Structure 1
Amino acid sequence: MTGVKGFRARRIWPLTRAKSFVDVVPGLVAGVEAGRRHALQDLCVILANVVTHDELAEHALDALASGRPTLWLDLDPMLRHPWYGYSSPVARRTISAVREPANPLAVALRACSSDGHRRERAVRDAAMRTDPQLLPVLLIRAADWVEEVRAAALETLAPALTDVATSDLLALVPVAVRLGDRRRGASALAAVRAALLGADDEMLATMRGCADLRARRFAYDTSLDAGRLRESDLMAAALGEADIVSRIRCAEEIDRMDRPDLLERLLAGRSSRVRAVALTGLVRLGRPEHGSRFLGDASSMTRLTAQWAVRRAGGDPAHIYRRLLAGRPGAEVRNLIAGLADCGGRADADLVRPYLTDPRPRVRAEAVRTLHRLGAPMNEFIALLSDPSPAVVRRAAAALRGSRW
């Protein structure tokens, strides 16, 4: 292909040429997903060329549906001219042919017209109610800037979502959450949320496994707000959900259940925020004894929460740190040194100094940081400026810059 400019002056291609065009639609869809701008422009041109042939239009629409769910969010502004900062990829006389066919692709393209009257007629078309591949377009029009188009789209959308298949809903939610960012997108997002709430637990579980991060988070938020997550689902998400925001929300929901047994299981979570939520909940329920186990945690948030828990249990975290460091610990030593910096005093510097010669660069770097926080003399850091580890040198330089020298 020669790009969009080569097509602007041409009329609709004959059927024999259009057949060769439809074969490249999947490749152009992949190009759009890869961020190639000209692929999006060429795709618009080809859609206008195949739309007049019903069978080819059907194949092209199938290819569009195989792409990412948000593809129509890119196509919609590109199908109109000077608006949105785009030049017209399809000549007026070319796109005008879209007015005639009645196939679903033609209806979808008319719904992306720059003419509001044409968009309104398109969203009222029977194909919008019966063809699930057009639902993303209908949803976009439900956030249209023209009130009449928006109202007509919402009127058509409500019955279309009453019996939507799981696969179709999976394609809609990523579009809906992005439309929710628009000034007029609240109603479209609310319609999809209502469809999710009306779905069974199996469909909701499928949505929470959606590959799109924002869609998955929206499904979790909807499930949590409606109380649609079982105890086992909450625990599995708090311990294993890839999205950290949803993981923490599920952990907080478990915390509100006031179940020490569940919170103790959360202490094994890989997320520091989840461990901190669990520790805080256990302290609130009168179980602060778990704090000492996490004084050497790799996360500063979890360590600080553990120090607070130890104090609530009547202990002194600094004393525990001193005892552990005096025993020359192994893998946790760096975290213990960092923890002592949180609650120790100037007198603890002697306990940290031996670690300046530790063979592990990260331990040496943490020792420099802790000695600086404990108020050790600055001249101790000068020799470390020639340390073979860049991390140690950076820590020493930062300590010296922070001094009054």
Structure 2
Amino acid sequence: MSRTAPSRHGATGPPERLPSGFAEAVDAAERRGWDEVARLAEVLAEIERGADIDAARSALTLLVGTPKAVARLDENARRRLWWSPRSRPAIDAVMSHLNSSAIGPIGLALASTHADGRVRETAVARIVAAPVAELMPFLLLRTTDWVQQVRDRARAGLALLLADDLAAMLPAALGMALLIDGRLRGGFARTQLTAALTTAPVALRQRLAASPDREQRRLVFDTGLAQRWWRIEQLLAFAESDADIRIRSRAAEAACREAVWTRRTATLQRLARSAHSEVRVQALTGLSRAGYDDQVSPYLDDESALVRAVARDAVRRAGGDALAHYRRAVAQEVPALGAVAGLAETGSSGDAASIELLLAHPDAELRAQAVLGLLQLDAVPAGKVIALLRDPSADVVRVAGAVLRRRNVAVPAALLWELLGDGRAELRLAGYRFLRAGTGATQLRAALILAADADPRLAGRGRADATRLARDVAVRDQRRPSPRALTVTAGELADLEEVIARAAESLGAETTAVLLSLRGTR
């Protein structure tokens, strides 16, 4: 089947004629075990034997977008691939063409991972002599090679290729350079590419700054800040629309600093309206430094704690009373969430009563915020918050449970078992989170019940915990017990027989057999 192969970095390769499932093989090699990596190598060798240059380029284009898969292929090649009876024949067939014009780009890629340093050096020389952008990740791996001759040739080749065709080679190399940066001898590639980036034309910088890969965008953005590439309009675009919080924050900081120096109040006001709190806090700080505290004070009720803190500081300088504002705001029929949080931050235990009234508010977000506010004031009313474990809102149930556990509030066991059997998944999870902190028998019973849950996510969690507990109990019988080992008596295990039977299908035969076998050994 013919289709166009987009890489993860937006590049589009030549028309594909690849075996079906090639993209899935790349993903599996990136995320799973060595067998999947070996399978990817075999598929690559199959494509190479087909002598279809377009298919080979398309395959490598996909790999350029997954540097981790390339790195795992390289690592696996030395550990297993070149010694594997399964993979060796196909790979050897490709290698037989190494010194001839018949070898294609995939053959050179595989040769660059060979266990023999002389083969790797030959592959590097051929990659440099007839450069293909899709082979850059393989070349970068060889810049960290443990054989100096291979390493030196790859490093010289990298400098040469970047100088000859920066627009093609730099985007293909960046992902791998960032991946290997922390490795032994891996810093060379990043240093070389960063230096090349500083000489890149504007169009290439802008293309790289829009990469879907966060680490690449960070490198380009940080280099641009250091080199003063970005005009204030570009900084505003980063601050308002980039998907990465670190880039947004740094761009907003740089834009606001320049706006304060140049008295561009409109720029600060624009960023203060941002949907991102890290941008708003930079803008409001800039407005305060520029002497516009009156424009910062209205943000007292912001949902961000940092923004509220900046606004309170502005109110203090203006001689206002932020605490009085919060007390008035919380008394409103529908107070702002930030006002409730602000009162908890600045108030005292005497303000707990007004926040406690919100536990019965029709708005679920306010109920959840009230619970958090009472926690901050160290005034959690145990009974009322326990009642919220059956709240109609899943978020309120989650927050109430987290606060009760943090305060070590004793919740009635009967209620917890009721919750574990409730029809709502969020209530079952809430009950389970408390029960898994109980005795060994309680933990095991709860995990077995959850393992048979109709919700696959909850069942998976229960199955994992039950398997772990079964293993721990079994190990306790066989070896010296550790301080964390669970204690489950024979009687307790016998009482769990029915629960074990209900969960058997989910647990699997091995875990079920372990649990049943323990009944007579304790």
CA spacing shift, 1:23–1:365, aligned 2, 3 Å = closer
Secondary structure of the corresponding residue to residue 21 of structure 2 = helix
What does the per-residue CA deviation read over 1:249-301, in whole Å, with 9 as the maximum and x for residues that have no partner? Answer: 11121233252522222112222122122222322333322332221112222
1:354 to 357, 360, 385: 357
Sequence identity of aligned pairs in percent?
A: 30
Secondary structure of the corresponding residue to residue 120 of structure 1 = helix
1:27 to 21, 25, 29: 21
TM-score by length of 1: 0.81
Secondary structure of the corresponding residue to residue 217 of structure 2 = helix
Secondary structure of the corresponding residue to residue 258 of structure 2 = coil
What does the per-residue CA deviation read over 1:278-329, in whole Å, with 9 as the maximum and x for residues that have no partner? Answer: 2223223333223322211122222223222322333221111122223334
For 1:87 and 1:345, how far apart are their aligned partners in 2?
73
More deviation, 302-311/149-158: 302-311
Contact 1:25 1:63 in 2 (8 A): no
C-alpha displacement at 1:44, in angstroms?
A: 1.6
Contact 2:239 2:248 in 1 (8 A): yes
Following superposition of structure 1 onto structure 2, how do residues 200-349 of structure 1 map, counting pairs within 5 Å? 200-259=201-260, 260-261=264-265, 262-330=267-335, 332=336, 334-349=337-352
2:98 corresponds in structure 1 to: 99
More deviation, 202-211/55-64: 55-64
Contact 2:248 2:278 in 1 (8 A): no
Equivalent residue letter for 1:108: A
2:423 corresponds in structure 1 to: none
Contact 1:381 1:400 in 2 (8 A): no
C-alpha displacement at 1:24, in angstroms?
A: 4.4
Equivalent residue letter for 2:138: V
Give structure 1 stretches of 5+ with no counterpart.
1-21
Equivalent residue letter for 1:62: S
2:404 to 393, 397, 404: 397
Contact 2:120 2:150 in 1 (8 A): yes
C-alpha displacement at 1:172, in angstroms?
A: 1.8
1:11 corresponds in structure 2 to: none
For 2:83 and 2:228, how far apart are their aligned partners in 1?
44
2:41 corresponds in structure 1 to: 44
Secondary structure of the corresponding residue to residue 352 of structure 1 = helix
CA RMSD of aligned residues (A): 3.2
Contact 1:237 1:250 in 2 (8 A): yes
Contact 1:368 1:381 in 2 (8 A): no
Contact 1:50 1:57 in 2 (8 A): no
Contact 1:128 1:138 in 2 (8 A): no
2:67 matches 1:62: no
1:89 to 87, 90, 104: 87
For 1:263 and 1:291, how far apart are their aligned partners in 2?
11
Contact 2:121 2:153 in 1 (8 A): yes
1:139 corresponds in structure 2 to: 140
What does the per-residue CA deviation read over 1:368-387, in whole Å, with 9 as the maximum and x for residues that have no partner? Answer: 443454455x6x54244224
For 1:357 and 1:52, how far apart are their aligned partners in 2?
71
1:5 corresponds in structure 2 to: none
Equivalent residue letter for 1:43: L
1:74 corresponds in structure 2 to: 72
For 1:302 and 1:162, how far apart are their aligned partners in 2?
47
Secondary structure of the corresponding residue to residue 73 of structure 1 = helix
TM-score by length of 2: 0.64
Secondary structure of the corresponding residue to residue 228 of structure 2 = coil
CA spacing shift, 1:392–1:176, aligned 2, 3 Å = closer
CA spacing shift, 1:399–1:368, aligned 2, 3 Å = farther
